[in-house]
Chains A and B, each alone.
Chain A
Amino acid sequence: MNLEKAKVLDNQKILPNYWQLDLYAPKAASLAQAGQFIMLQTTPYAEPFLKRPMSLNRINPEEGTLRIIYQIVGKGTQILTTIPAGGEMDIIGPQGNGWMIQKDYRKALLVGGGAGIAPLLQLAINLAEKEIKLDILLGAADRDAIFNHQEFLQMASVSVATMDGSRGHKGFVTDLLPQTPDYDMIYTCGPNPLMEKVALWAGQKGQACQVSLEERMGCGIGTCMGCVCKIKSKDGSIAYKRVCKDGPVFDGEEVVFNG
């Protein structure tokens, strides 16, 4: 496990409710894999008490940097916006398992919703480097919550859905799921209902699928059993697994949503 004092290189608003945070954290950057996250301490004081889990949007081991894209949700993320370039923050990470990629994949689908788009960019970059063909579906409430669109366009065909129709298809991003998919792997991150739909659809179509789950975390390092999710094993038995340590990425087929 890596504890590090990260230096803030840049912290700026990119959309009305989203900020982009660039950190210099050479040790974490050298260890990190796409799909992993860090625990980020928003203040050196005890309020707010818990660290915030944030996915890695970009990993640059050569320069020792990590990029986070965060949505302003409450107290912790509001405090984050006040930390200027040059500031420091304690981080733990990288944590968790990250996305699984196999060498022989030829074609993959990425489905992201809201803040769940964040961990898909580094994944897309890694897949594109391996010359895996990509289709990408992005969804959000409105166009002000779609980020990284340009970056994705450089690597793949991208379709967008917004609930208010301000960009792309009007409705759920899952409306855009194809009838006859032929992917080696489907990757998804976003609100639970989105991932549940994608996992169900993938299962029906006989496609393999990885989901990156979110849960409220206590320690973020695997000790407290706070952030568990329900996982069904092959024999049908149910166990609670830790999102922070056994995940956040799970096989879509194993996850019991709504539980």
Chain B
Amino acid sequence: MADLSVCVAGVDLKNPVLTASGTFGYGREFAELYDLSLLGGIVVKGTTLEPRLGNETPRIAETPCGLLNSVGLQNPGVEKVIAEEIPFLRQFDTAVIINIAGHCLEDYGKIASRLDKVEGIAALEVNISCPNVKSGGMAFGTDPKVAAGITACVRQNCSLPIIIKLSPNVTNIVEIALAVEEAGADAISLINTLLGMAIDIEKKKPILANTVGGLSGPAVKPVALRMVWQIAKAVHVPIVGLGGILTASDALEFIMAGASAIQIGSANFFNPMAGPQIVEGIHEWLDQHGVKDIKEIIGAVNQ
């Protein structure tokens, strides 16, 4: 069997398959279906300093080959995550990555320093790109200076490896990637959701209570793949690719485009067994193609 281990942001992963923030909760439901230790890692739901109620409903609108969501970061707050969720996840032999989000620069610093001392966290993933929070959210991820400022602030406030998660809702993704790399990111993950909209023509009203929401699922895959490929040529830190991955062959596309690891998001809704099946599928493909080590094909796309 091929070697699937990779190293991202200084964290050794047994395989490159992680689950994406907001699509896997804290793993409890999926732990009823399979051993979470089969995964390279788990990225938990976006966590904020204080509990967040989230947006009004409807929060979900299905669209061709995907969905829009405007959950608005509903989460129980960092203290509850530390007390109840991290101890649960620590039981599994997998990298636990805490996704963090904030209203302002200070929030990011505070939550990073709070998590710094907590046992069992492999890394932080910093959401500078959530489109659902009215007070800033995406604005953080769309300005290179602000993105760099948040990265530096998290860096100063904790010694954990940090992965900066980028928004695709920008004209120049490379510029943002370079800015956060320069500011101290240990790795970059992308993409978060693409800002979108759906309308109920009978009611002449947007379907989502929040009017707009984030698009995810197979519909976004070509955009995500293009962005991973673009920044892979520009930055030196490892890249975690995601956006529309449904199968092992989708995952391999991202790896060949330059991602050292991938995340499975909305696919968890379509197929709750996607995680272990994609690990298995990558194994099979590597064996069939005589590849001994997955690292041989990271960025291997020919042009």
Contact = CB atoms under 8 A, between A and B. Distances in A.
A222 B45 CA distance: 12
Contacts of B66: 49
Interface of B: 22-25, 28-30, 32-33, 45, 53-54, 56-62, 64-67, 69, 71, 74, 217-218, 246, 266, 268-270, 272-273
A219 B269 CA distance: 5
Interface in A29-55: 46-51
B61 A223 contact: no
A3 interface: yes
A49 B266 contact: yes
Given A219-B23, A221-B272, A225-B74, A49 B60 contact: no
The 6 closest A-B CB pairs, nearest first, are A223-B25, A226-B60, A219-B269, A216-B60, A1-B32, A225-B74
Contacts of B67: 49-50, 218
Given A225-B74, A226-B59, A227-B59, 6 more contacts: A3-B273, A49-B217, A216-B61, A217-B60, A221-B29, A224-B23
A228 interface: yes
A50 B53 contact: no
A240 interface: yes
Q: Is the interface of B mostly helix, strand, loop or mixed?
A: loop
A244 to B, nearest CB: 10
B69 A226 contact: yes
A216 B58 contact: yes
22 contacts: A46-B217, A48-B62, A49-B65, A49-B270, A50-B60, A92-B272, A215-B57, A216-B59, A216-B61, A218-B67, A219-B272, A222-B25, A223-B29, A223-B30, A224-B23, A224-B69, A224-B71, A224-B269, A225-B22, A228-B74, A240-B53, A240-B74
A238 interface: yes
A85 interface: no
Interface in A217-259: 217-229, 238-240, 259
A47 B270 CA distance: 10
A20 B157 CA distance: 59
B218 A218 contact: no
Q: Is the interface of A mostly helix, strand, loop or mixed?
A: loop
B160 to A, nearest CB: 24
A94 B221 CA distance: 32
Nearest to B30: A223
A22 to B, nearest CB: 24
Given A3-B273, A50-B269, A223 B59 contact: no
Interface residues of A, number: 28
Contacts of B23: 219, 223-224
B59 A228 contact: yes
Nearest to A243: B57
Contacts of B266: 49
Nearest to B62: A50
A1 B53 contact: no
Contacts of A229: 57
Nearest to A222: B29
A218 B24 CA distance: 12
A220 B60 CA distance: 12
A227 B24 contact: no
A47 B54 contact: no
Contacts of B218: 46, 49
Nearest to B73: A225
Contacts of B28: 222
Given A47-B64, A226-B71, A238-B53, A3 B272 contact: yes
A46 to B, nearest CB: 5
Given A49-B67, A239-B53, A240-B74, A225 B59 contact: yes
Given A218-B269, A228-B54, A223 B24 contact: yes
A196 to B, nearest CB: 15
Contacts of B74: 225, 228, 240
A46 B266 CA distance: 11
A215 B57 CA distance: 8
A99 B76 CA distance: 27
B131 to A, nearest CB: 15
Nearest to B218: A46
B269 A51 contact: yes
